[in-house]
Homo-oligomer: A and B are copies of this chain.
Amino acid sequence: MQFELTSEFLERIKFAIETQEEVFLKATFEELYSEDIIPIFYELTPEQQKYTLSMLDIETIGRILINIETETRNQLFTYFTSTEIAVFINEMYSDDAADILNSLPIKNREEIIAHISDSEMALNINELLRYESDCAGGMMAKELIKTNINWNVKQTIEEIRKQAENIEKLYSIYVVDDEDILKGRVSLKKIILSKDKTAISEIYEPDIISIETFMESWEVSDIMQKYDLETIPVVNVQGKLVGRITIDDAVDVIKEQAAEDIQAMSGISSPVEEDDSIWKLAKARLPWLVIGMAGGLLGAAFMGLFETKLILIPAMAFFIPLITATGGNVGVQSSSLIVQSLANNDFITQSTSLRLWRVLIVAFINAFVICTIVILFVFLIGHPLKLAFVVATALFFVVILASVMGTITPLVLDRFGINPALASGPFITTFNDLLGLAVYFGIAGLLYAI
């Protein structure tokens, strides 16, 4: 069912573009959804892309331009005049149009807007460009269907006929008063099932969830998910209806957030994909590698203080990876639980002390199990009991401390407005490595001194 781009098919397309087989290309692209043309697009040169666009209808062009990566699009745009770009922009929803214009230099942006033939569209875009892209105002589209609370079903249907032209998907009709203040919604179903003369005020639902322009995009997506909404109306501070956001934008926010969290957890410092340039990939990975390395070198310097002890008991070195790895694993487990629970703030906000208390009990249970295994194992493979005891005691404290650190770090990051998922990344493992070494050598110093 799902289209998959094979290299044979791609070669065929490229050949057809070279030899300008217009009939073949038009017929082929007509059978594909715009979403399936995009992967082909990425494999073409800008000139080939421009030629491909000339084979497509304006609607497909719009969907491709919206969904391709910003870099590819901006490069492609250098092959078009402002007037030509304005024609594409004119056919889009206002939110997509504003997003595309937002990614262009101000000079180009102004030129393109000046060439947009639909004055209402130009007005809408100018309004949307005022908002930051990560707030409700920046997510919303201006296209929506509304009716007046004082009208009846027949007047509403006439209004729908007028307004619906530009709207592909039509869910609910917003109800406003004479001042454009949002009063509620009436579903299309109700409109169809009611008689022409029925007053909107009789059939509308006043109980409607709306959001304000300044709300952050993650809040918008949280609300839409929580209440299972396909669209949500956006109002300004006066309560006037200014736009609407659809679920597909909220889904994008969810996916972006998940990708960001995973990137933060993996120690990748900027959003990259496997097929990005090698230099970009290397650059995104270096910062955390260097930080981790600095931690390792600090650890080396620290252990230098215990050189005489290591000469006496070289077997102590054997258990360094055990200590650091366990600290890292426990830290990542703890912090990712906190990150998850910060993301679903469904429950009563737990106090930090209650959180820590529960974390400590879990840590005690796990530390106990781990230490029992370790003390038996270390002793059984022939190390002196004292060493087994040192290793087990150190592990015990490492598990407890790593749990506490893993719990507190994301909470602190979150408090300062930093993505708490960073706490589950190399940060926590590097920090816990150092913590583990300090505990291990500290305990060894104490117990071997006896």
Contacts and interface: CB of A to CB of B under 8 A. Distances in A.
Interface of A: 1-2, 5-7, 10, 33, 35, 38-39, 42-43, 157, 160-161, 164, 167, 169-171, 187-189, 191-193, 209, 211-212, 215, 219, 222-223, 225-228, 230, 247-248, 250-251, 254-255, 258-259, 261-263, 265-268, 272-275, 278-279, 281-282, 285-286, 288-290, 292-293, 295-297, 299-301, 303-304, 307, 310-311, 314-326, 328-330, 332-333, 335-341, 344, 346-348, 350, 355, 358, 361-362, 365-366, 369-370, 373-374, 377-378, 381, 424, 426, 429-430, 433, 437
A123 to B, nearest CB: 24
A227 B314 contact: no
A227 B333 CA distance: 36
A325 B322 contact: no
Contact of A251 (B167, B225, B358): B225
A402 to B, nearest CB: 11
12 contacts: A251-B254, A265-B265, A273-B341, A278-B358, A278-B365, A282-B365, A285-B366, A296-B322, A299-B318, A301-B318, A325-B429, A329-B429
Nearest to A337: B274
B437 A346 contact: no
A42 B119 CA distance: 53
A329 B7 contact: no
Contact of A333 (B2, B169, B285): B285
B315 A314 contact: no
Count this chain's copies in the assembly.
2
A263 to B, nearest CB: 7
Contacts of A338: 274
Contact of A326 (B2, B169, B293, B310): B293
A398 to B, nearest CB: 11
A437 B320 CA distance: 11
Contact of A362 (B189, B285, B374): B285
A296 B325 contact: yes
A164 B191 contact: no
Given A296-B322, A321-B320, A262 B259 contact: no
Contacts of A346: 38-39
Given A247-B247, A268-B333, A377 B258 contact: no
A329 B431 CA distance: 13
A329 B272 contact: no
A225 B355 CA distance: 37
B268 A336 contact: yes
Nearest to A407: B274
Contact of A289 (B192, B254, B330, B429): B330
A192 B191 contact: yes
A307 B318 CA distance: 9
A358 B324 CA distance: 31
A157 B321 contact: no
A40 B344 CA distance: 15
A266 B282 CA distance: 24
B290 A370 contact: yes
A265 B336 contact: yes
Contacts of A311: 311, 314
A248 B311 CA distance: 63
A311 B316 CA distance: 11
* Closest 7 pairs between A and B when the two form their complex, measured CB to CB: A296-B322, A266-B336, A317-B317, A258-B258, A274-B341, A300-B318, A282-B365
A301 B381 contact: yes
A214 to B, nearest CB: 11
